[in-house]
Structure 1
Amino acid sequence: MKNFMKYLEVSKEVKEALENNKPVVALESTIISHGMPFPQNYETALKVEKVIREAGAIPATIAILDGKLKVGLSAEEIEFLGKEGSKIIKVSRRDLPYIVANKLNGATTVATTMIVAEMAGVKVFATGGIGGVHRGAETTMDISADLEELSNTNVAVICAGAKSILDLGLTLEYLETHGVPVLGYQTKKLPAFFTRESEFDLDYKIDTPKELADIITAKWEMGLNGGVVIANPIPVEYSMDYDEISKSIEEAVKEAEAKGIKGKESTPFLLAKIKEITKGKSLEANIQLVYNNAKLASEIAGNMK
């Protein structure tokens, strides 16, 4: 029997918004603790929340603090995560029981943010990019828990596609097999995180936030469990050159392989290495695409029935 309420702590602001059917947008915390250095991570997290408020929704940043599943963090709590950085444990589904039972602090990945958001009743979640099938997964079986969560948990995830360090083709195949719709917002091409397009086509191009909200609502009203991926391309002015970023990724992947870096450590390593190779351009692109996703997520949440 589920008895998660004793572990869940929803902020007063988020609770009131949910009770009054106001739009709420969930945000992850791994991007704060593991995504960039302090104080840039703290400033970016506050700016994302500001973008959501300006778009008419309430932000609900999610993390685990002293074993509590927190939905809606204070500025002080966000600052704590930012200052502690990589000392904060990166928590996916498998880690949740250990972290909660031992009253530890944890930063939520896409998968864990979805789990906690659903517990709280938050249906829309904005992030940078989802995890996926890693390159070489046919021999390593390295597949992000994000994909399994998307097949089971009723939360819509607005992202700039899957992280381009992944095998995008196999990631799309996995999502299709598990019945997860991947909807392109004003695009028929799968965005590749740092760039607006990849070589992979999407089945559906959706032109307005209301249409997206209607599709999400119809899915769950029909009892079709699982998430929805809304692929929202990075704004044109921040999109990186496809060949440049592809070359940087190849270089970073080779170094990770040489150093034996795998599992949950691979994504932070690869993103940090790409930032180094691109002289910081990839990090600026990452920040801007998160702002863009937060705005769209707010508009979708505002149109949910």
Structure 2
Amino acid sequence: MTLPLSYSPDVAEARAKGLPLVALESTIITHGMPFPQNVETARAVEAEIRAQGAVPATIAILDGTIHVGLTDAQLDQLGQAQDVMKLSRADLAVCLAQGRTGATTVAATMICAHLAGIAVFATGGIGGVHRGAEDSFDISADLQELSKTPVTVVAAGAKAILDLPKTLEVLETLGVPVIAVGQDELPAFWSRASGLKAPLRMDDPAAIAKSHRLRGALGLAGGQLVTNPIPVEAEIPRAEIMPVVEEALKAAAVQGITAKEVTPFLLSRLFDATEGRSLDANIALVLNNARLAAKIARELV
């Protein structure tokens, strides 16, 4: 059957000319920030990619069609949309079949980016193993997707609300390269430090691009996770943010918050507790990841 796939004019032109493309997710627009800040941030990230010589491709499902790249009007529409599905691998096809609107998580963005021939994807942080997963089995589909879909994902690590040692262990078991940039330690989203040594380190975008190509040449499934630490001036040090994270986790447990609702709940609590600094840091790290992803995409072409 024909896949419901649509390209924005900018992305269609970039594909025709062989220009570097960087995929962007859309849950940060629909589930991460209020309007109009969500749209303003999305446009700032796209502008950062263009400034680095690449073309942004924000991915979302609108009325049952996969849109790779959004026009200004579509971005405004998504930023104000209600009842938007939060899509991972499990529910992507259902959203399309029902003709609904959905925002893509890391896993769903990787799937759609690969369908569109886009090899690099910039995001904030990936999902991972949740605290208490030994009882709840709450593990993000992002980890499995990284082992299946050949897209290089640039992130500031896994979100610090997760169990980072278990997340790293699962990624190792799945054979996903976890590459730190500019330091030997795995970054932890809002913080540059996690207390965990990164399995690999590569500081050169050209080398990261070459590694991506070589994985394909070797016939290895899956992508790469490139962990890019938040800029020093924007970080919230680990010693400061972790007590706030622990309090938010306890509140989620008391209120019975589970599954897909956990992360939005925790991020909202952290925003209030840090008087907005967590969101400022989030925006800074996404912009930083967009810059690096654009450099890698340029090397790939």
The structure 2 residue matched to 1:253, chosen from 246, 249, 252, is 249
Runs of 4+ in 1 over 6 A off after TM superposition: none
- 1:39 equivalent to 2:36? Answer yes
Deviation digits for residues 102-122 of structure 1, max 9, x if unmatched? 100000000000000000000
The residue that corresponds to 1:100 in the other structure is 96
The structure 2 residue matched to 1:196, chosen from 181, 192, 195, is 192
Shift of 1:15: 2.3
Shift of 1:187: 1.3
The structure 1 residue matched to 2:268, chosen from 248, 258, 272, is 272
Letter of the 1:6 partner, please give it.
L
- 1:210 equivalent to 2:206? Answer yes
Farther-moved stretch of structure 1 (213-222 vs 185-194) = 213-222
- 1:83 equivalent to 2:77? Answer no
The residue that corresponds to 1:288 in the other structure is 284
Deviation digits for residues 235-286 of structure 1, max 9, x if unmatched? 0000102111101100000000111111111111111111111110000000
Structure 1 gaps of 5+ residues are none
CA distance in 2: counterparts of 1:233 and 1:19, whole angstroms: 33
Shift of 1:211: 1.1
Structure 2 gaps of 5+ residues are none
CA distance in 1: counterparts of 2:151 and 2:229, whole angstroms: 20
Shift of 1:12: 2.7
CA distance in 2: counterparts of 1:143 and 1:34, whole angstroms: 19
Shift of 1:147: 0.6
SS in 1 for 2:226: strand
SS in 1 for 2:90: helix
The structure 1 residue matched to 2:24, chosen from 22, 27, 48, is 27
CA distance in 1: counterparts of 2:97 and 2:81, whole angstroms: 21
Shift of 1:6: 2.6
Letter of the 2:260 partner, please give it.
K
Shift of 1:97: 1.8
RMSD, aligned CA: 1.0
Shift of 1:22: 1.1
Q: What is the identity percentage for the equivalent residue pairs of Structure 1 and Structure 2?
A: 53
Deviation digits for residues 21-73 of structure 1, max 9, x if unmatched? 21100000000001111111010000000000000000000000000011000
SS in 1 for 2:271: helix
SS in 2 for 1:210: helix
The residue that corresponds to 2:15 in the other structure is 18
Equivalences for residues 177-192 of structure 1 within 5 A? 177-192=173-188
- 1:58 equivalent to 2:88? Answer no
CA distance in 1: counterparts of 2:70 and 2:168, whole angstroms: 33
Shift of 1:203: 2.1
Deviation digits for residues 131-181 of structure 1, max 9, x if unmatched? 000010011000001011111001110000000000000101111111100
Letter of the 1:160 partner, please give it.
A
Letter of the 1:214 partner, please give it.
K
Letter of the 1:193 partner, please give it.
F
Shift of 1:217: 1.2
The residue that corresponds to 2:172 in the other structure is 176
CA distance in 2: counterparts of 1:248 and 1:84, whole angstroms: 31
CA distance in 2: counterparts of 1:263 and 1:70, whole angstroms: 26
TM-score by length of 2: 0.98
TM-score by length of 1: 0.97
Shift of 1:207: 1.6
CA distance in 2: counterparts of 1:43 and 1:52, whole angstroms: 15
CA distance in 2: counterparts of 1:206 and 1:94, whole angstroms: 33
Shift of 1:215: 1.1
The residue that corresponds to 1:233 in the other structure is 229
**Number of aligned positions between the proteins:** 301
Letter of the 1:224 partner, please give it.
L
SS in 2 for 1:64: strand
CA distance in 2: counterparts of 1:167 and 1:220, whole angstroms: 30
The residue that corresponds to 1:223 in the other structure is 219
